[in-house]
Amino acid sequence: MELADLTAHELLELISKKEVSPQEVVKSCIDRIEKYEPKIKAYLFIRNPEEIINSVKEDEPYSAIPIAIKDNILVKGLPNTCASKILANFIAPYNATVIERLNKKSLNIIGKTNLDEFAMGSSTENSAFGPTRNPWDIERVPGGSSGGSAASVAMGSAIWALGSDTGGSIRQPASFCGVVGLKPTYGTVSRYGLVAFASSLDQIGPITKDVTDCALLYSFINGYDPNDSTSLNIEPYRYSPLKGDIKGIKIGLIRELLGEGVDPSVKKCIEDSVKIFEDLGAIIEEVSLPYISYSVPTYYILAPAEASSNLARFDGVRYGFRASGKTAEEMMSNTRGEGFGPEVKRRIMLGTYVLSAGYYEAFYLKALKFRNLIASDFRKAFERFDVLISPTSPTLPFKLGEKVENPLEMYLADICTIPINLAGLPAISIPSGFVNNLPVGLQIIGPVFSEAKLFEVAYAFEQATPFHKRRPQLGGISYGV
């Protein structure tokens, strides 16, 4: 196994023992980019390799840990395109709060990763700059919208990555790429410097190779930020070594997320996971969340409504791409018509429609009520259970182009993850098995502010299984185990 296949905590231990140098670690990730990035296309921008190596500081161990950043999170001086033509030449004028916090640890930003345009999608096929491919099978999607970030970690071109999660955009690609992804409690990680899609749902989170790394990275980025009006002023999570003792913990298996539409092979992996938890001493029972079946229609009213408002700022007047026009109105219309891709236009039109006079009460207000009912279902479940589990995705990674012409089918790919965003809860996806060498993710959901508990439950499962140690092959050449 090469250095790029190791976790951050394994690499830091090797560096502390002087068994490898920080520069060797960084060079290993750069080598992966040179070999495999032309096939995978995880990145939209990569820093100069010499600059990345020169960023290593001997007295700052984390400067040896290359991290990839989703290209909707601002990094001062670097491009921030949101994978859209409308921001193709935009350079970030300031750092997002999460980047400022990473800079305090001297983490080495290796590049900006591909995504579905403005984070709208589940496959990273909606990028204006072309799709990213799954390192486990380059004919399949890596998931989305944080597909570039998940693929970069899976292929070893970054040790860590940051993504954003509006309806599953960290967890679903983590599942498809066989890595770990956390969607934190809403408000525990600052959204300042994250280009907004749906402000009441968006949340930045970590993507890593194992749970220990996920807990470490989350400890760096969480905490109150006065620049974000939705940031919660609570005691931040602080990392301490995970123990993984879950004997006696009560786990609820969500019935509605194991029914119709779930691939039988995915269901089998989850059932096998239940047995592993039981062997670890956990108590598992089925639980019903009846309103969860309304999550997808609720989400696809609320999220586009917020998107139609947030994306109004991209009009060709202040920054970004500008098309020509005889009048200001024509210029703005042409800019948005040429600058936005089909999926973004679809969601803007849908959002504008549900917010319009005559439809606001019939659709938007009704969706808000269902959002409360879904959150209420979760609250009741957590009166009985410590955590809940489900598949992260109802299917295995699907082939490129398979769902592009059927938006509804694509939307249903997030049926297991969307409810968590609507309720503002934390959830983590971890590898739970493989089917035909394709990863299957297990989603563990907790009540608000239960990240520490999620890490312990996920770590216990991880230590009892070998799945997190597997690495993909590319072009028939193995670069892992």
Confidence of residue 478 (pLDDT cuts 50, 70, 90): very low
Please return the burial class of 60, using the count of CB atoms within 10 Å of its CB with bins 0-12, 13-18 and 19+. middle
Neighbours of 476 (CB within 10 A): 5
φ, ψ (nearest 5 deg) of residue 347: -75, -35
304: tokens are 């586009």
Q: Over 70: is that where the pLDDT of 479 sits? A: no
What pLDDT digit, counting tens, does each position of 228-253 carry? Answer: 999 999 999 999 999 999 999 999 99
Please tell me the predicted confidence (pLDDT) of residue 88: 95
Peptide bond into 390 cis (omega under 30): no
Distances (CA, A) of 30 to 26, 59, 65, 110, 157: 6, 21, 12, 9, 6
Please tell me the predicted confidence (pLDDT) of residue 1: 82
Q: CB of 155 within 8 A of CB of 40? A: yes
What's the whole-number average pLDDT of the chain? 96
Please tell me the predicted confidence (pLDDT) of residue 459: 98
Query: By percentage, how much of the chain surpasses pLDDT 90?
Result: 94
* In the block, residue with structure tokens 């992260």: 392
Average pLDDT over residues 430-454: 98
Please tell me the predicted confidence (pLDDT) of residue 474: 72
CA dist 132 and 467 (Å) reads: 23
380: tokens are 């009741």
CA dist 463 and 244 (Å) reads: 8
Q: CB of 423 within 8 A of CB of 248? A: no
Query: DSSP 3-state assignment of 205?
Result: strand
Neighbours of 432 (CB within 10 A): 27
Active-site positions read 70, 145, 169
Which is it for strands 204-208 and 283-287: parallel, antiparallel or unpaired?
unpaired
Q: Which domains does the chain have, with CATH numbers?
A: 3-248+390-478 (3.90.1300.10)
Q: CB of 272 within 8 A of CB of 348? A: no
DSSP letter at 436 equals T
- Give the CA radius of gyration of the chain: 21
Please tell me the predicted confidence (pLDDT) of residue 475: 54
Average pLDDT over residues 344-358: 95
Q: Over 90: is that where the pLDDT of 480 sits? A: no
Peptide bond into 145 cis (omega under 30): yes
H helix count then E strand count, the chain = 15, 13
Neighbours of 91 (CB within 10 A): 14
- Helices in 382-450 by DSSP H: which ranges? 407-411, 418-423
Which is it for strands 160-164 and 204-208: parallel, antiparallel or unpaired?
antiparallel
